[in-house]
Structure 1
Amino acid sequence: MILLGYTVLLLLWTCTAQKDCETPPPRRTKETLTGTWDKASYPHGTSATYNCRPGYIKLGRVIFECNNGVWKHIFPYVECKNKPCGHPGDIQFGSFEITTGTEFVFGSRVEYRCDEGYRMLSQRNFRECQADGWNNEVPHCEVSKCLPVKAPENGKILATGVYEADQDFSFGQVVQFQCDKDYKLSGPKEIHCSADGNWNADVPTCIVITCMTPTIKNGNLVAPKRVYRENERLQFTCNAGFTFSERPDADCTENGWNPMPFCKASLEPG
């Protein structure tokens, strides 16, 4: 009976013995092990403490324990979390958005863009939250500039205030043109500085105001010329049965002949 009792006790001890851990504590992405772990096995109850890797922080101690051959995270469950960097900084005349992550923490990235009509002066348009804080400086945006413009030959630039021939123009500014006497604009009356720093159109030219000799149906010109200059007048007559619309002459103007010379059927009996 005594021998049988010892046998039962041995079996009970064998069944309740705890296993050792045959591998070191697990490797983790955000934490690193403290101490040396180069043994072949580790007894049940062995504790392993972790520290946070750069860029991460923790509230409490990160501990794993060998529990019957398995490493388990002990209560309370603590892990390292991404270190916050705070607000990355607003940009004047622009904005930013988070392109990596959802919060201002280690590993996140924000990208800046300038408002319409502004261009970025900084070489880098982004900031990344690193272990020691945000990298790079907050970018800077500057209003887009258009190159100076010259007044057209035989014309001038209409500008408010003092105009300098070599001055730059900012996004949205408008330049108007006017031609000298006896000349008219060929092209737009005004141009504006676009968001991309280019003028929306070319500078117009000033051309001499001329009127081509008209063909008068049912009438004839008196001493016609091939080309008429501004304010020159032509005269014409109408054939029998026709009469002039307003008067028997017309003046060359910037907008053409005034009035338009033509003959209409006469209402009077011939």
Structure 2
Amino acid sequence: MALQSACFLTGLILVLLFIDCKEPPPNTQTEILSGSWNDPQYAEGTQAVYKCRPGYRSFGVIAKVCRSGEWVALHPSRICHKRPCGYPGDTAFGSFDLEEGSEFVYGATAIYTCNEGYKLVGEINFRKCEADGWTNDVPVCEVVKCLPVAEPENGRIVSSALEMNQEYTFGQVIRFECNPGFMLDAAKEIHCSVDGAWSGEKPNCVEILCNVPRIPNGQPISLKNTYKENERLQYKCLRGYSYSGRADAVCTKSGWTPPPACKGNLSFLVRIFGCVFYQLF
């Protein structure tokens, strides 16, 4: 009787130690269960092997074993890590920043930007770390360009390093000057801006003309209505007035030089109805 009791207890212990397991834990975000697991129960010691999802990797086999009705990791330190893609690559005249994090691993995205005065070639400005490496090529930055500028009529471009009808690059400056007798009607230089546009309109060369001035207490001698650059205007002062400087003025791009003017004499006597007045002009 004692022997039978001992055998019963031993069998009970063995039953308790060797409890079957249900199917292994399902797939996770990083792991996929290998093989087919359709049986309702799995015996003690059964192993389930997991592989990493695309974009992840492990150092060694990831496995779980059935022990006492539970699936236990054989090597708990073995997990699936994100695969590295390596350095995404630099671009000349630009730089990149990671959208998130600081590691070049699966899921990372490098966003590229160009330096001032440069722009991306094409519309793709990123590289993404996928399961098989970086997507896209390293973006390329090229210098911003401005359209060619024609010489103004009656003038010329005096500081261009390029041939006519060639594009200009960011930062380049064009200076203009006019032929004798003409002057610029706007800024004498423009530069190629960061957005590929010129900083201003191309100036025109307009003829330098001076209209006959109104001279208080004086009048022009010539009958011309307009004068060209360096032409002289002669005028005279009315009785009782004298020239402020000289009897003529020269037409310049800034106007008449010196400005025609007549100043009053301190006086000559004027008798009116027996009275004497000092007349100032």
TM-score computed with the length of structure 2 as normaliser: 0.83
Distance 1:76 1:260 in 2: 99
1:86 is the counterpart of 2:60: no
1:182 is the counterpart of 2:185: no
CA contact (8 A) 1:146 1:171 kept: yes
State the partner residue of 2:275. Answer: none
Change (3 A) 1:68 1:245: farther
Q: Which amino acid in structure 2 is aligned with residue 136 of structure 1?
A: N
**Alpha-carbon deviations, 1:154-213, whole Å to 9, x = none?**
11110356x522222111111111111111111220111112222111211111101122
State the partner residue of 1:143. Answer: 143
Change (3 A) 1:220 1:10: same
CA contact (8 A) 2:124 2:139 kept: yes
State the partner residue of 1:73. Answer: 73
Q: Which amino acid in structure 2 is aligned with residue 49 of structure 1?
A: V
Q: Which moved more, 1:24-33 or 1:205-214?
A: 24-33
Change (3 A) 1:263 1:68: farther
Distance 2:12 2:250 in 1: 128
CA contact (8 A) 2:160 2:174 kept: no
Cα displacement (A) at 1:42: 2.5
Change (3 A) 1:43 1:255: same
Q: Secondary structure at the match of 2:99?
A: strand
Q: Which amino acid in structure 2 is aligned with residue 135 of structure 1?
A: T
Cα displacement (A) at 1:124: 2.1
Q: Which amino acid in structure 2 is aligned with residue 145 of structure 1?
A: K
1:96 is the counterpart of 2:96: yes
Cα displacement (A) at 1:89: 0.7
Q: Which amino acid in structure 2 is aligned with residue 58 of structure 1?
A: S
Identity of aligned residues (%): 45
Q: Which moved more, 1:65-74 or 1:141-150?
A: 65-74
Cα displacement (A) at 1:12: 6.8
Cα displacement (A) at 1:240: 5.1
**Alpha-carbon deviations, 1:203-252, whole Å to 9, x = none?**
11111101122222333333353222111222333345544332232111
Query: Aligned Cα RMSD in Å?
Result: 2.9
Q: Secondary structure at the match of 1:22?
A: coil
Q: How does 1:27-46 map to 2 (within 5 A)?
A: 27-46=27-46
Distance 2:142 2:116 in 1: 11
Cα displacement (A) at 1:104: 0.6
Matched residue pairs, number? 268
Distance 2:72 2:137 in 1: 43
Q: Secondary structure at the match of 1:216?
A: coil
State the partner residue of 1:173. Answer: 172
Cα displacement (A) at 1:45: 4.1
Cα displacement (A) at 1:67: 4.2
Change (3 A) 1:204 1:10: same
State the partner residue of 1:249. Answer: 248
Q: Which moved more, 1:243-252 or 1:62-71?
A: 62-71
Q: Which amino acid in structure 2 is aligned with residue 82 of structure 1?
A: K
Distance 1:19 1:269 in 2: 136
Cα displacement (A) at 1:265: 4.5
State the partner residue of 1:155. Answer: 155
Q: How does 1:176-255 map to 2 (within 5 A)?
A: 176-239=175-238, 242-255=241-254
Change (3 A) 1:36 1:233: same
Q: Secondary structure at the match of 1:198?
A: coil
CA contact (8 A) 1:101 1:109 kept: no
CA contact (8 A) 1:55 1:132 kept: yes
**Alpha-carbon deviations, 1:119-147, whole Å to 9, x = none?**
22244221111222112211222112212
State the partner residue of 2:61. Answer: 61
State the partner residue of 2:126. Answer: 126
1:115 is the counterpart of 2:115: yes
CA contact (8 A) 1:213 1:224 kept: no
